[in-house]
Amino acid sequence: MGMTMTQKILAAHAGVESVKAGQLIQAKLDIVMGNDITTAVAIPEFKKTGATEVFDKEKVVIVLDHFTPNKDIKAAQQCKCSREFAWEKDIKHFYDVGEMGIEHALLPEKGIVAPGEVIIGADSHTCTYGALGAFSTGVGSTDMAIGMATGEAWFKVPSAIKFVLTGKPAKWISGKDVILHIIGKIGVDGALYKSMEFVGDGISYLSMDDRFSMANMAIEAGAKNGIFPVDEKTIAYEKEHTTKEFKVYEADEDAEYEQTITIDLSTLRPTISFPHLPDNTRTIDEAEAQKVVIDQAVIGSCTNGRLEDMKITADILRGKKVNKRVRTIVIPATQQIYLDCIKLGYVEDIVKAGAIFSTPTCGPCLGGHMGILAEGERAISTTNRNFVGRMGHIESEVYLASPAVAAASALAGYIADPEKITGGMN
């Protein structure tokens, strides 16, 4: 029996000819990553190993993004600990205020991650890099510590689900809508410890930003990783962003999948996840019928803070005013995206519309800062989780959506169809 794309990558990094689902392997790592929260926890565990240096100063990445710029004394202490470790160990890829961005947007942008690699990160959304055709997965801080010390990690080889994407999506359908639709279809544990492998002619209509968004949320279906084939768009992206040499892996024709699910992208409608789980999905038509009034709109995060997301937001807000009852917070994912938004006029469009434009940070996504919800408040957000208390008070509510739906809703004051709000603009 042949191997899936993920299994081929893992076999190569384990130094064996083949692997099968359920097999335990020890694999070499190309990148080990942590942020300001998880690195601070990993450092004491790293010291327990007895290692005095990291396995490779160019393969360990530390990004301060969750509570940065520091939101309080505890966050400042965590960041200080991480900074001192990065300086002491001479970590090449260390990103702090002024250079930092949201980790899962920053690493691809900086060319740190590439197709065919094995990447672990002490953050559950590390699966984002599967958009590039890499095996990337989130781990705990202890695994990060061992990875920093040895450059290796143990894995149980995942089985896989094949998602065949067909058809061309409509104007306002983005990767976020696709992945929310899938999660709504299979559930938050529908791909538990499995690889979500996306194939089909519909992929050609998905931009790299769409793919990053989809791979990012594979974990919300319980997946070990999400992964896309390397095509012309991937190669073009990598030519622009990295000087690394990389190997492209393809699934065997006789690869074994636990199931195959076909999604016709042309039939999808903008999709929203209602509280309090990502799989509690409704179409925009169902949401509008309920007229869900919102208090806050958040556009950003490792899921939807990329330049395409900023463009959609600016296009919808340009020349209009957000509802006075809706606090609208827009957060670009990296400093480069911030600069591009200034040059392209997006910042002016967004600010003139009555929204705020922030420095790159995870911000309110995990209840961090810059947008915490009070009791009874509702937010529509382009983030990835809407658990109880995720963005503030345990009696607040978070509705997950695409940037288009979030921006349209900020204007309307309730969850709204971007098609209706924009009048079908080009």
What CATH number does residue 390 fall under?
3.30.499.10
* Residues 283 and 250 grouped into a single domain: no
CA dist 397 and 386 (Å) reads: 7
* Residues 307 and 330 grouped into a single domain: yes
Q: How many other CB atoms are found less than 10 A from the CB of residue 294?
A: 25
List, run by run, the mean pLDDT of 10-residue segments along the chain (426 residues).
94 96 97 96 95 96 93 92 96 93 96 97 96 97 96 97 97 97 96 97 97 97 97 96 94 95 97 96 94 96 96 96 97 97 97 96 89 96 93 95 97 94 68
CA dist 326 and 294 (Å) reads: 7
Alpha helices in 35-151 (DSSP H): 38-48, 73-88, 103-109, 141-150
Q: How many CA atoms lie within 13 A of 282 on its CB side?
A: 18
326 Cβ partners below 8 Å, 6+ apart?
Answer: 294, 295, 296, 297, 409, 410, 413
Strand residue runs (E) in 217-362: 225-227, 259-264, 271-273, 281-283, 296-299, 327-330, 356-357
- Cα distances (Å, whole numbers) of residue 109 to 32, 104, 238: 17, 9, 9
* Residues 391 and 258 grouped into a single domain: no
Domain's final residue, options 264, 286, 315: 264
Count of domains in the chain? 2
Q: What would the two tokens of residue 314 be?
A: 């600016």
* Residues 376 and 242 grouped into a single domain: no
The amino acid occupying position 59 is K
* Residues 161 and 279 grouped into a single domain: no
In terms of residue numbers, what domain contains 393? 271-422
* Residues 81 and 63 grouped into a single domain: yes
* Residues 196 and 280 grouped into a single domain: no
- Cα distances (Å, whole numbers) of residue 301 to 71, 323, 410: 17, 22, 17
* Residues 394 and 412 grouped into a single domain: yes
CA dist 78 and 97 (Å) reads: 14
Q: What is the pLDDT of residues 177-222, one digit of tens each?
A: 999 999 999 999 999 999 999 999 999 999 999 999 999 999 999 9
Domain's final residue, options 264, 290, 322: 264
Q: Specify the 3-state DSSP secondary structure of 224.
A: coil
* Residues 376 and 403 grouped into a single domain: yes
b/e per residue, 56-89, with b = 16+ CB within 10 A?
Answer: eeebbbbbbbbbbbbbeeebeebbebbbebbeeb
Domain's final residue, options 233, 264, 295: 264
* Residues 219 and 282 grouped into a single domain: no
Q: What would you report as the CA-atom Rg of the chain, rounded to the nearest whole angstrom?
A: 21
- DSSP annotation of 157 reads P
194 membership: H or E segment, kind and range: strand 194-199
CA dist 20 and 4 (Å) reads: 9
Backbone angles phi and psi of 97, in degrees to 5: -50, 135
* Residues 308 and 365 grouped into a single domain: yes
Q: What is the pLDDT of residues 273-312, one digit of tens each?
A: 999 999 999 999 999 999 999 999 999 999 999 999 999 9
pLDDT of residue 1: 76
* Residues 223 and 351 grouped into a single domain: no
pLDDT of residue 424: 59
Q: Specify the 3-state DSSP secondary structure of 373.
A: strand
Select from 72, 94, 84, 105 the least CA-distant residue to 40: 84
Select from 388, 383, 414 the least CA-distant residue to 400: 383
